[in-house]
Amino acid sequence: MFTALSRIIRYGLLGFWRNGWLSTATISIILIALFVFESLIIFQILTQTALDAIQNKIDISVYFKSDAPEDEILKIKQVLSGLEEVKSVEYVSKDQALEAFQSRHKDDEAITESLKELEENPLLASLDIKAQDPKKYAAIAEYLDKSSFKDRFQKVSYTQNAVVIERLSKVIDTAEKGGVTLIVVLALLAVLVTFNTIRLAIYSSREEIGIMRLVGASNTFIRGPYLVEGIIYGAIGAFLSVLFALPIIYITSPYIKIFIPEMNLWSYFLNRIFFIFLYQLLFGVTLGIISSAIAVRKYLKI
């Protein structure tokens, strides 16, 4: 069994080298497909990082009337924290709000002097609410509008942020749907390319296949080398796609960091390069095996 397997692999390698230009063309197409697929993965990572950064800056702020007791605000905070749509609720007291306001405008003398002339803190206590998902902000705003403690609110900031939240939700949906569609298209492209390559290899080796049949070679022995070729195409394509990505990511990483400070793409890629390669290898080899198996089944009548 081991001898038969080694021969199948050897004949697969021989077929790969014998059809040099055809193999090179096939690997080139698969390389492009896998490289675009890899780029899509990186794009989704960047998109998700950017969306998370934007999402962390978006919230619903509930400002309370100046006579609202702090203990009552804290009870409302506890109620809101228990909602499944809510990720976190942060309480900002009047003093904390004033301190933050002064820090933001410390270089503005006019505002600083105006605050000194005031006898009391003009700012309101608030609750900053972050949702588990941007799509949940509308539900949270609706809950606040119908709540029994609504009369304690001075204002709710959802209306001001609604446009940004809606656009963010649309961007997330578009990125997810577009990513899935592109993955399917690339997978079909890789299957078709490898399928046609194996079909041509079978056609060019039709005389040898006829001789192998005459001498009593098994079906597995005849079909096996073409499956090996499909595996080789996928494996080499996966290796080259990761290799080609390295210099591109190294060059573009500093520019990406300017737009997305939270993402160090070069460091992220290096830390996960082994898993990215395995993922590419699995994807490439699977496509190679599937397309080769389909071609063998269709064109290699044994």
Cβ atoms 35, 244 nearer than 8 A: yes
CB atoms within 10 A of CB 295: 24
Outline where DSSP puts E strands in 93-234. 126-131, 153-156
Element (H, E) at 26: helix 20-56
User: What does 247-268 look like in DSSP terms, one character per residue?
Assistant: HHHHHHHHHHHHH-TT--HHHH
Any residues with CB less than 8 A from the CB of 46 and at least 6 apart, and which? 256, 260, 263, 265
From the list 208, 232, 237, the residue with the least C-alpha distance to 221 is 208
Cβ atoms 190, 30 nearer than 8 A: yes
Distance CA 44, CA 296 (A): 35
Amino acid of residue 284: G
Any residues with CB less than 8 A from the CB of 165 and at least 6 apart, and which? 58, 134, 137, 138, 158
Any residues with CB less than 8 A from the CB of 283 and at least 6 apart, and which? 34, 37, 234, 238
Q: Which domains does the chain have, with CATH numbers?
A: 2-54+168-299 (no CATH), 60-156 (3.30.70.3040)
The stretches in the chain having pLDDT less than 50 are none
Q: How does pLDDT run across 81-121, given as a tens digit for each residue?
A: 998 889 889 998 888 888 887 777 677 677 667 666 666 77
Q: How far is CA 17 from the centre of its chain?
A: 37
Cβ atoms 286, 234 nearer than 8 A: yes
pLDDT value at residue 12: 66
> In the structure encoding, which two tokens stand for residue 85, read together?
């749509």
pLDDT value at residue 119: 67
Residue with tokens 């490898």: 194
Q: How far is CA 184 from the centre of its chain?
A: 15
Residue with tokens 């209306």: 159
Largest distance between two CA atoms of the chain: 105
From the list 139, 149, 12, 161, the residue with the least C-alpha distance to 79 is 149
> In the structure encoding, which two tokens stand for residue 138, read together?
């509308």
Cβ atoms 81, 91 nearer than 8 A: no
Distance CA 262, CA 269 (A): 14
pLDDT value at residue 247: 92
pLDDT value at residue 234: 83
